[in-house]
Amino acid sequence: MSPALTAISNTGTAPLRFPHRNLLGIEGLSADEITFLLDLADSYVQQNREADKKSTILRGRTIINLFFENSTRTRTSFELAGKRLGGDVINMSVSTSSIKKGETLIDTAMTLNAMHPDVLVVRHPDSGAVALLSQKVNCAVINGGDGSHEHPTQALLDALTIRRRRGKLQGLLVAICGDILHSRVARSNIQLLQIMGARVRLIAPATLLPAAAERLGAEVFLDMRKGLKDCDIVMMLRLQTERMQGSFVPSIREYFHFFGLDYDKLSAAKPDALIMHPGPMNRGVEIDSEVADDIDRSVIREQVEMGVAVRMAVLDALTRDPAQRNAPHGK
Amino acid sequence: MATKLDAGGANGHARVAYVNARLIDPAAGLDAPGALLTEGETIADLGPDLFKPGVPEGVATVDCKGLYLSPGLVDIRVQLREPGEEHKETISTAGAAAIAGGVTTMVCLPNTEPVIDDVAVVEFIARRARELKRAKVYAYAAATRGLKGKDITEMGLLSEAGAVGFTDGVRAIADAGVMRRALSYSTTFNALIVQHPEEPSLAGMGAMNEGEVATRLGIAGIPTAAESIIVGRDLRLVEMTGGRYHVAHVSTAETVELIRRAKAKGLSVTCDTAPPYFALNELAVGDYRSFAKLSPPLRSEQDRLAVVAGLADGTIDAIASDHAPQDQDSKRLPFVQAECGGIGLETLLALSLELYHNKKLGLIDVVRRLTEAPARILGLKAGRLEKGAPADLLLFDPARPWVVQERAIRSKSKNTPFERRPVQGMAVRTVIDGRTVFQAAA
């Protein structure tokens, strides 16, 4: 266990429960609410390392993983989280659903709602689709990633990973590098890190930065060495290969040469800077294999472990008080 | 000139004194009698008082006889045709033409075969030019792969390999989305995007300027709007992306005005024009003369005057030769079928000096548009007379008259639109890296 763990137990300011019905994004969460989720997740990290990993908190509850976009990691992580808490988990993916037969998103939501699930975990390729769906159902909805908008559990698991290693988020300098334009992970992380008092830098070629990137409160850099200077944390983003040929960046070799994380570029960051990646990695595209596998610097596998704990915490928090489910949507 | 061609010597550390010169260096605002000393490949000293007491022992002396000693000309738009079309021109023949015209630095377009869209081709051009030891050659790389106007090239790697800017050569980057992306991506490396400003869907099958002459000749025209529409669009994209943008061979009054306003607004935009656009108009097409078929086409007299005015007020930063060699087979065709372009390396200086002789620009401003300004646009280490700078020099006589004649042309192709034109002003001696590489016959 990290020696830092003792330093991060309840600050005393965190609320005793999570006051929201859904987790649609990081936007709108307070530092206390985030701290509450991270503290709760911390306790599940321990549970997940025991031989008997199962509890009964979600016994009798139904969780539906509704994935309109391919995913192995996130879906498995949510599935494990639900099962370890004793819930019944059902996976629905787009290829087996009636979406392909022309059913609209809202019809799907109404149909599923009629089956009385307790939690819907939804991933959708369109930004805003998960929020739309949440308005039509009575149960809690967790955003498992919507388009290029938000991926809140990823940001939470990143925060947990950092907090366990560094003891805090406040005051850290975090670089998020790569395909910011298309990344929901980046949008959730930019918000969470800033809410928690960290400073954020965005590093990318100009074609992979959103038009108003500097309005997100982060510093923007077009050069890795300049942007990584003095950073505590280096978060790499996945570059989707369908965006490689000529449209956004001209080639893999050029991208790797200027924006791939290797030891040379990493040397600009603090000597003990941590390397993170939401996965799945493209080795030799956005990250050099040696760096990705560096056991002293890379916490990429730890992120996966934290992912299950964070999702258990979110499922727990959203199902604790059934009365909440009938409360009006919102904060 | 009494001195032998090799004065200034092959010896790497040779010192050469250029005395009795009229020094002209627009970068420093210098236009005064004086002397200049080169040591090896660089300028060691210069000034009005240098060698007043006499040239020391062991220093070779060149008597400039009161002629102008300026930085060597920097020509930022040259088609070398090598690799791929060596029957039209080679790096060697273009180099010979360049130094005879006082050009010490050329920047070549990527429309070769193979296209300069890969690091290896940039390196090939640089190596060939080094071996030939004539004019220095830099290359633009393609802005889009294969000049196809779709996918942006590896601007970072190509810049590292030495590409000085990105352009699709004689083709416009026509798609607005691609142009936006090219301008945006280029900011990552602070690279320059150079546009051939012609909207292809408006140029269509046109072969000359749209107007009365084209109407009478029965030739499909290219409207001036084909140029101004794409420049206007690009300027808006420059504003949006923060890219650095250069318009090549401005030919219309509307474009000059668009760029004038963009500069007043503080946009990062520069432009050049070529001698045909301030020294000729569409009447040069005359009786279907294919040597006067250029791209962009020769325009109206009113456009020509606007280009002159743009040069005079600095809206147009630079003059380039727009050297486009075409062999006889490409030009001896019905006008509409003939290839576009004219050669220009050997006439660049004399035609630009017409602006001075006609009292449109001061001499120092003409020299500025041919040296310091183009070098600054591309960030080249050239175009200035200063201590430590490469000793790339031009000694020229602005008054010396001559007539453009095909038999005297050194370029492999002879397609000049200025054939038989009497001009004034000649390169007398061209020096590259301290070595005299050309001397005019007395």
pLDDT the model gives residue A15: 59
Name every residue whose Cβ is closer than 8 Å to that of residue A105 and which is 6 or more positions away in sequence: A99, A124, A129, A132, A133
Q: Angle B363-370/B348-357 helices, nearest 10 degrees?
A: 150
User: Residue B300 above 60 pLDDT?
Assistant: yes
CB contact under 8 A, A250 and B184: no
pLDDT the model gives residue B131: 87
- Name the fold adopted by B3-70+391-398+421-439: Urease, subunit C; domain 1 (2.30.40)
pLDDT the model gives residue A321: 65
Residues of B whose CB is below 8 A from A251: 154
CATH architecture of B72-378: Alpha-Beta Barrel (3.20)
Residues of B whose CB is below 8 A from A210: none
Options B234, B303, B322, B433, the catalytic residue = B322
User: Residue A3 above 60 pLDDT?
Assistant: no
Give the separation between CA B300 and CA B213, rounded to whole angstroms. Answer: 9
Listing DSSP states for B71-132 in one string gives EPEEEEEE---TTT-TTT--HHHHHHHHHHTTEEEEEE-S-SSS-S-SHHHHHHHHHHHHHH
User: Residue B416 above 60 pLDDT?
Assistant: yes
User: Residue B132 above 90 pLDDT?
Assistant: no
pLDDT the model gives residue A8: 43
Confidence of residue B315 (pLDDT cuts 50, 70, 90): very high
Mutation target vs A (from B145, B185, B241; most A CBs, 10 A cutoff)? B185
Confidence of residue B133 (pLDDT cuts 50, 70, 90): confident
Name every residue whose Cβ is closer than 8 Å to that of residue A53 and which is 6 or more positions away in sequence: A47, A84
- Residue in this structure with the two tokens 């002629």, named with its chain if needed: B67
Q: Which of B144, B150, B184 sits opposite A207 (nearest CB)?
A: B184
Angle at B357 between CA B356 and CA B361, to 5 degrees: 20
pLDDT the model gives residue B336: 96
CB contact under 8 A, A207 and B144: no
Name every residue whose Cβ is closer than 8 Å to that of residue B16 and which is 6 or more positions away in sequence: B7, B8, B9, B37, B38, B59, B60, B61, B62, B434
Q: What is the pLDDT averaged over residues B214-240?
A: 97
Sheet holding B192-195, edge to edge: B166-167, B192-195, B244-247, B269-273, B318-319
pLDDT the model gives residue A97: 55
CB contact under 8 A, B145 and A206: no
User: Residue A313 above 50 pLDDT?
Assistant: yes
Q: B322 an active-site residue?
A: yes
Q: Which of A223, A247, A257 sits opposite B157 (nearest CB)?
A: A257
CB contact under 8 A, A250 and B151: yes
Give the separation between CA A162 and CA A189, rounded to whole angstroms. Answer: 12
Q: What is the pTM assigned to this prediction?
A: 0.91
Interface of B with A in 41-80 (CB under 8 A): none
Confidence of residue B4 (pLDDT cuts 50, 70, 90): very low
Q: Quick one: how far is CA B271 from the chain centroid?
A: 11
Give the separation between CA A156 and CA A162, rounded to whole angstroms. Answer: 10
User: Residue B311 above 80 pLDDT?
Assistant: yes
Domain boundaries, chain B: 3-70+391-398+421-439, 72-378
Query: In a 10 Å sphere around its CB, with 0-12 CB exposed, 13-18 middle and 19+ buried, how is residue B55 labelled?
Result: middle
User: What value of ipTM does the predicted structure carry?
Assistant: 0.88
Structure tokens at B123: 């390196």
Q: Given CB atoms, is B156 within the 8 Å cutoff of chain A?
A: yes
Listing DSSP states for A161-185 in one string gives HHHHHHS--TT-EEEEES-TTT-HH
Closest CA to A190 of A171, A207, A213: A213
Encode pLDDT of B155-184 as tens digits: 999 999 999 999 999 999 999 999 999 999
Residues of B whose CB is below 8 A from A214: none
* B145: closest chain A residue by CA: A246
Instruction: Go through chain B and tell me how many residues it has.
Output: 442
Cβ-based interface (< 8 Å): residues of A facing B:
205-207, 222-223, 245-251, 253-254, 257-258
User: Residue A326 above 50 pLDDT?
Assistant: no
E strands in B188-280: 192-195, 208-209, 221-222, 244-247, 269-273
pLDDT the model gives residue A96: 53
Distance from CA of B38 to the nearest CA of A (A): 39
Encode pLDDT of A222-274 as tens digits: 999 999 999 999 999 999 776 665 689 999 999 999 999 999 999 999 999 99
